[in-house]
Structure 1
Amino acid sequence: MTGDGWNAAVRRRLGLGRLLALGGPEDGVWITERAATSVLGAVAAALPGLAVTSLRLAPADPGAAAEPAVPPPPSALPPGPLRVSAEVVALGGRPLPELVAALREALFTAARERLGLVVSDVDVQVTALLDDLPDPPNGGPPPGPTDQPASATATAALTTPGVARLTAELGPPVQTAEGHVRVEVATAPPHHPLEVARAVRTAVGRAAPDADSVAVLITWAG
């Protein structure tokens, strides 16, 4: 790989953010922080009177993390409760406690119901009071189509309801090593990402009966 190619790969990996465990230790599913904040940010953008300028997710209590049932993707976080940290600007003259409470409830609900993330804390910091709110940031387009390899595992993943496409952010869309299979996918609305990933694991397990374990990484959630 050339220097430019290596730099591009590093930027692409950093752009994914943390790899967050989705569901519980037995689910074997991870989602990129980029995908999760895209969904949560869209929910926050629908609330009146405020604009989110920063949204991050991190372990709420690293000591409470559990051992995943399957090998995780490289540098992925172990399953455990997460903390959502949001920085916002708000319209002056609006009741801040009500705005903050509405945002916290919206983020809690979206994390649980739209994604399947285990969130124990939502921290909100109001950084400025403004007369006019800025336009919401553009989250960027989802990853483009990937050339799909002709394999039974790839076909099983791609044809699972709710899978929009296979992706290749950490390497090939389907990677197999030492009896473990990892699949990267983007999910389509209105399907629940965690339920889609569970179905992908089942389908891939059937297509690759000799595999000891299957993990799924969601790189984009529609």
Structure 2
Amino acid sequence: MTGDGSLGHDGLAQAVRSRLGLGRLLPLGGAADGAWIAEEAAAAVLRRAADGLPGTALGRLRIAPVETAAVGGAVVPPPPSALLPGPLRVEAEVEGVLGGESLPAAVEQLRAALFGAAAEALGLGVTEVDVRVTGLLDARPNPSAAVGPDRGAAAVRGPEAQAAAAVPGVAHLTGALGAAVHRTDGHVRVELAVSAGRRALDVTGAVRAAVGAVAGAGRTVAVLVTAVELP
């Protein structure tokens, strides 16, 4: 920081790069859940679900709002530039792998895996999965790494941070948007990584309850997941 407490040029550039690397901030659950997840983190989980499926090799993956669907307001202030709660669409590009099961069957298996991971591992409200075949391969390539940049653990300072860090399923607090716990007069936003094998929406719900218990009457709580550990 500079002497006046603001970010210097290098610090600002690093913050911008970190923020852009998160991708979209997607709503977890519905309007009442007060939780969001970075597209980068969600995509890594979906890619892991697709790895090893016969007949297809996953390429480009995008998670976006359903364009024709109506969205409502959130019960808590969302993180900066976050999408409002509403149905989501997964767009996947794949290459077919020769020598396996039929390509239509392989595509349907992939679509089911993406739907399942979105709901069961994350809690994303995905209502559409569009799979587009872009080519054919003689053999399946090695599985993708499916791991985003390690944003590191943020310091645990203050009662809200301590309450959040103690919730089962929280791997550690993060700080891609600044401090791990951002406070205003009426609101608290907590940023964290979810442990492997834990459903993100369940963890964020427990964190909101734990932080709300110590944040003080009248304060709302939102949670942003910036990473999900993979098994």
Could you tell me which residue of structure 1 aligns to residue 56 of structure 2? 50
1:191 positional shift: 1.7
Q: Residue 27 of structure 2 aligns with which residue?
A: 21
Offset of 1:108 from its aligned partner? 0.7
Residue 194 of structure 2: aligned partner: 187
Tell me the alpha carbon deviations over residues 167-204 of structure 1, each in whole angstroms, 9 at most, x when there is no partner: 00001000001310000010112221111100100000
Q: Residue type of the partner of 1:132?
A: A
Aligned equivalents of 2:150, 2:9: Cα separation in 1: 26
CA separation of 1:16/1:62 partners in 2, compared to 1, >3 Å: closer, same or farther?
farther
Partner secondary structure for residue 54 of structure 1: strand
Given the superposition, is the C-alpha separation of residues 38 and 196 from structure 1 closer, same or farther in structure 2, using an over 3 Å criterion? same
Deviation, 1:211, is: 4.5
Q: CA deviation at 1:42?
A: 0.1
What is the TM-score when the length of structure 2 is the normalising length? 0.91
In the alignment, what sits opposite 2:172?
165
2:97 aligned with 1:91 = yes
Report the Cα distance in structure 1 between the residues aligned to 2:214 and 2:107, rounded to whole angstroms: 47
Deviation at 1:96, TM superposition (A): 1.1
2:109 to 93, 97, 102: 102
2:14 corresponds to 1:8: yes
1:143-177, CA deviations, whole angstroms, 9 ceiling, x for partnerless residues? 3222222x111100000111110000001000001
Corresponding letter in the other structure for 1:202 = A
1:121 CA drift (Å): 0.6
In the alignment, the residues of structure 2 paired with residue 133 and residue 13 of structure 1 have an alpha-carbon distance, to the nearest angstrom, of 33
2:156 aligns with 148
| Deviates further, 8-17 or 159-168 | 8-17
Match of 1:219 among 209, 223, 226: 226
Letter of the 2:28 partner, please give it.
L
Aligned match of 1:133: 140
Q: Give the partner amino acid of 1:3.
A: H
CA spacing shift, 1:46–1:142, aligned 2, 3 Å: farther
**In 2, are the aligned partners of 1:61 and 1:81 still within 8 Å (CA)?**
no
Aligned residues: 221
Residue 119 (structure 1) shift: 0.8
Supply the distance in 2 between the matched residues of 1:118 and 1:140 (Cα, whole angstroms): 22
Map 1:193-204 → 2, pairs under 5 A: 193-204=200-211
Q: Which runs of 4+ in 1 moved over 4 A?
A: none
- Can you list the C-alpha shifts for 1:33-70, whole angstroms capped at 9, x where unaligned? 01100100000013122211111100013541111100
Aligned residue in 1 for 2:119? 112
Cα drift, residue 92 of structure 1: 2.3
2:213 equivalent in structure 1? 206
Between the aligned partners of 1:4 and 1:17, the Cα distance in structure 2 is 21
Q: CA deviation at 1:14?
A: 1.2
Q: Structure 1: where are the runs of 5+ without partners? A: none
Q: Which amino acid aligns with 2:39?
A: E
Identify unmatched segments of 5+ residues in structure 2.
1-6
